[in-house]
C-alpha cells in the first residue's frame, strides 16, 4: 500500500535534513552565475546559500534552468526498477517548465513500466510553499495513506496553501519581468516594498504596496492573521536575513502557531527575488 516514493524538486527549499527524514526524492534545478553552473541541491553542496547571496549582492546576475526530461527519467527509473510507484509534487508550472518535463518523462516511462503508477501534480506552489505541501503529503504517507489518497489530498489542499512574501530590492523582480523598470526605479527611491502572494494560477502577484521594511513584514503577519486555518505549523523562507526570520517566527508563535520551520530561499528562487526576501507559508481559507 505504501510502496511509493514522494518526489519533488529543489524549488521546494525544504531543509535538507527534513527532506531526508521524510524520505523525499529531490531533483535539483540549476543556476548559472559568473559563468559557472551550479545544481541547486537542498544541502548547498555545489554552492552555499550565503555564498550565493554574497554573489548576488556584488551585482552579479544569475540565470536559472528547469529540471529537464532526462533528469526526471533518470531519477524516476531508479524507483520504478525497484517496483515502487511515484508521486511527484512539482514547482508551479506558471513559474518554471520543470513540471512539464516531469509529465513528459512520466508518459515515456509508463510505456516501459506498465505495472507501475506515476502520478504528477502541479502544486501551483513555490519555495517553502511547495515545501510545506510536500511535508504535509509525506506526513499523510507516513500515517499510512495510499498514493491515490495522498494525490487527492494534495489536489484538495493546494489552493489553501497560502504564500505571502516581500522583497527588499525590486530590481531582482524587474529582471525577472515581475515589475516594470519604472516601478522598480520609483519604488526604490520611495522605499516602496511590495506585499505579494502566489495566486490560484501559481503566479507571483502584487497585492499591496507599503513604505518601508517594517510595514511589509507587518503586512505578512496581517495576511496570515486574516486567513490562517491550521495553527499546527507554518514555514518561513528568507533570502539571507535569518535574524528577521527568527523575529517573524516569534511573532507567529505569539499568534498561537505551534511549530515554525525556517529555511533559506534557495538559489533558484533567490535569483529572481534577491537578498532580503521574506516569505511566510501556511494553510488558510484561500490563497
pLDDT value of residue 191: 78
> What pLDDT score was predicted for residue 280?
98
Which phi and psi angles does 233 have, rounded to 5°?
-160, 145
Q: Which of 252, 45, 266, 23 is nearest to 150 (CA)?
A: 23
Q: Report pLDDT for 10.
A: 98
**Closest to 120 measured CA to CA, from 101, 136, 138, 139:** 101
Q: For every residue of 7-63, which 3-state class applies, written as one string? A: EEEHHHCCCHHHHHHHCCEEECCEEEECCEEEECCCCCCCCCHHHHHHHHHCCCCCE
* pLDDT confidence of residue 176: 58
Closest-CA residue to 86 (of 66, 106, 114): 106
Contact 147, 4 (CB under 8 A): yes
Q: H-type helices in the chain, by residue range?
A: 16-22, 49-57, 69-81, 98-112, 127-142, 147-157, 170-175, 181-189, 213-227, 242-254, 267-273
> Quick one: pLDDT at residue 178?
57
As a whole number of angstroms, the distance between CA 71 and CA 230 comes to 35
Q: Running DSSP on this structure, what letter comes out for residue 3?
A: -
pLDDT in tens, the chain (287 residues): 689 999 999 999 999 999 999 999 999 999 999 999 999 999 999 999 999 999 999 999 999 999 999 999 999 999 999 999 999 999 999 999 999 999 999 999 999 999 999 999 999 999 999 999 999 999 999 999 999 999 999 999 999 999 999 998 767 665 656 555 545 554 565 577 889 999 999 998 888 889 999 999 999 999 999 999 999 999 999 999 999 999 999 999 999 999 999 999 999 999 999 999 999 999 999 99
Contact by Cβ (8 Å): 161, 121: no
Report d(CA 57, CA 53) in Å as an integer: 6
Dist CA 69 CA 256 (whole Å):
43
Length of the chain: 287
CA angle 256, 261, 267 (to 5 degrees): 140
Hey, what's the cell of 187? 519604488
> Phi and psi for 24 in degrees, rounded to 5?
-90, 135
Q: How far apart are CA 16 and CA 7, in angstroms?
A: 14
Q: Which domains does the chain have, with CATH numbers?
A: 4-158 (3.40.50.10170), 160-283 (3.30.1180.10)
Q: Which pLDDT score is estimated for 192?
A: 77
**How many angstroms separate the CA atoms of 140 and 6, rounded?**
11
Rg (CA), the chain: 18
Residue-level pLDDT at 205: 86
pLDDT recorded at residue 175: 65
Amino acid at each position: 500500500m505504501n510502496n511509493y516514493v514522494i518526489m519533488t524538486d529543489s524549488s521546494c527549499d525544504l531543509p535538507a535534513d527534513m527532506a531526508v527524514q521524510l524520505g523525499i526524492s529531490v531533483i535539483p534545478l540549476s543556476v548559472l552565475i559568473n559563468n559557472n553552473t551550479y545544481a541547486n541541491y537542498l544541502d548547498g553542496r555545489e554552492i552555499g546559500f550565503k555564498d550565493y547571496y554574497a554573489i548576488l549582492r556584488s551585482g552579479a546576475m544569475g540565470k536559472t534552468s528547469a529540471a529537464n526530461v532526462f533528469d526526471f527519467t533518470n531519477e524516476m527509473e531508479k524507483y520504478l526498477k525497484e517496483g515502487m510507484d511515484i508521486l511527484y509534487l512539482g514547482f508551479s508550472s506558471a513559474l518554471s517548465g520543470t513540471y512539464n518535463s516531469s509529465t513528459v518523462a512520466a508518459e515515456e516511462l509508463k510505456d516501459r513500466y506498465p505495472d507501475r503508477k506515476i502520478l504528477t501534480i502541479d502544486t501551483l506552489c513555490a519555495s517553502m510553499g511547495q515545501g510545506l505541501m510536500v511535508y504535509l503529503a509525506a506526513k499523510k504517507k507516513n500515517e499510512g495513506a495510499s498514493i491515490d489518497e495522498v494525490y487527492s489530498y494534495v489536489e484538495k489542499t493546494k489552493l489553501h496553501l497560502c504564500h505571502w512574501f516581500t522583497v527588499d530590492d525590486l530590481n531582482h523582480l524587474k529582471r525577472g519581468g515581475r515589475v516594470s523598470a519604472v516601478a522598480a526605479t520609483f519604488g526604490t527611491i520611495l522605499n516602496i516594498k511590495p506585499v505579494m502572494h502566489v495566486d490560484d494560477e501559481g503566479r507571483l502577484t502584487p497585492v499591496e504596496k507599503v513604505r518601508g521594511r517594517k510595514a511589509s513584514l507587518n503586512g505578512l503577519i496581517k495576511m496570515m492573521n486574516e486567513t490562517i486555518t491550521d495553527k499546527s505549523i507554518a514555514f518561513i523562507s528568507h533570502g539571507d536575513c535569518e535574524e528577521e526570520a527568527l523575529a517573524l517566527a516569534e511573532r507567529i508563535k505569539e499568534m498561537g502557531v505551534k511549530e515554525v520551520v525556517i529555511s533559506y530561499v534557495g538559489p533558484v528562487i533567490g535569483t529572481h527575488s534577491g537578498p532580503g526576501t521574506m516569505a511566510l507559508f501556511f494553510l488558510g481559507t484561500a490563497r
